[in-house]
Amino acid sequence: MPHGVGARFFEVCSSTNRLASDAALEGLQGPCWFIGGAQEAGRGRRGRAWTSEPGNLYASLLFRPSLKPADMAALPFICALAVRDTFIALGADADTVRCKWPNDVLISGKKASGILIESSARNADALDFVVIGIGMNLAHFPADALFPATSLATEIGQAVPVQDAASHLARILYDRLNAWNVADFAAIAREWTEVAWGLGCPVTLRTTGETFTGTPVRLEADGALLVTLDGGHEKRLYAGDVFPVNTAEQEGNEDASHH
């Protein structure tokens, strides 16, 4: 772990995000990583479950940035870039590792990582704590995922120990968080855009209660995805999922899906 960063390991736990936020509520200052060998109640984005058998990385970082909630726009992209760097450090071919809005990381077009950021604010002007939860498919992946999935082992033909992934990730994310200039969203947006998946081509977009086709154009300064709709109108997306157009109809069974 980088100097000054704590770490707590659990062979099996409910959810490392849960442990991290419980510890924060009990007063732990952090920064501190919570790393689980397996999770019994792994949380995904948008209320989904995250399948968490042994062999993959399940890790959450608790920290207390002196920032306003509104300053957080770049954080999902910083985290996704850090996970991308980690896959590359572990042997993935850089050209194959791409970031999918809002904060997934794909290898060869398939989801290899998911990130769930949860935060608690004292008020509109001050965050209390932030938990960055990261799942990296090192050894296996769910066959029935919402978005087609893969693992690092499948892509590079080699097993990677969880500890190696954890130590690379901790170092890389530490460096990226320290380098973060909250006033310069554009710098992060530029970097993310260079390695983004699905920009400039038609995709299926799903937000709460709505599924439509559009072409993602760019990231806006508040982290929204600017999309051009078929009729030429523009729309800003603040939450949702992006799919290739031809998997558009895998609707309706979100709760039974994992990633």
Nearest distance in Å: CB 114, ligand BTN? 2
Task: Examine residue 44 and tell whether it contacts ligand BTN (CB under 6 A).
Answer: yes
Rounded CA-CA distance 199/202 in Å is: 8
Does residue 137 contact residue 112 with C-beta atoms inside 8 Å? yes
Q: Which of 231, 227, 230 is nearest to 241 (CA)?
A: 227
H/E stretch holding 24 reads: helix 16-25
Nearest distance in Å: CB 104, ligand BTN? 6
Give the residue with the Cβ less far from ligand BTN, 48 or 98: 48
- Give the binding-site size for ligand BTN (rule: CB under 6 A): 21
Task: Examine residue 243 and tell whether it contacts ligand BTN (CB under 6 A).
Answer: no
Give the residue with the Cβ less far from ligand BTN, 147 or 185: 147
Residue from 92, 97, 115, 170 binding ligand BTN (CB under 6 A): 115
Overall residue count recorded for the chain in this entry:
259
The residue with its CB nearest to ligand BTN is 114
Rounded CA-CA distance 30/99 in Å is: 28
Task: Examine residue 100 and tell whether it contacts ligand BTN (CB under 6 A).
Answer: no
**CA 77 to each of CA 74, 104, 176, 194: distance values in angstroms, whole numbers, following the listed order:** 6, 9, 11, 12
List contacts with ligand BTN (CB under 6 A): 15-17, 39, 42-45, 48, 50, 58-60, 104, 114-116, 133-135, 259
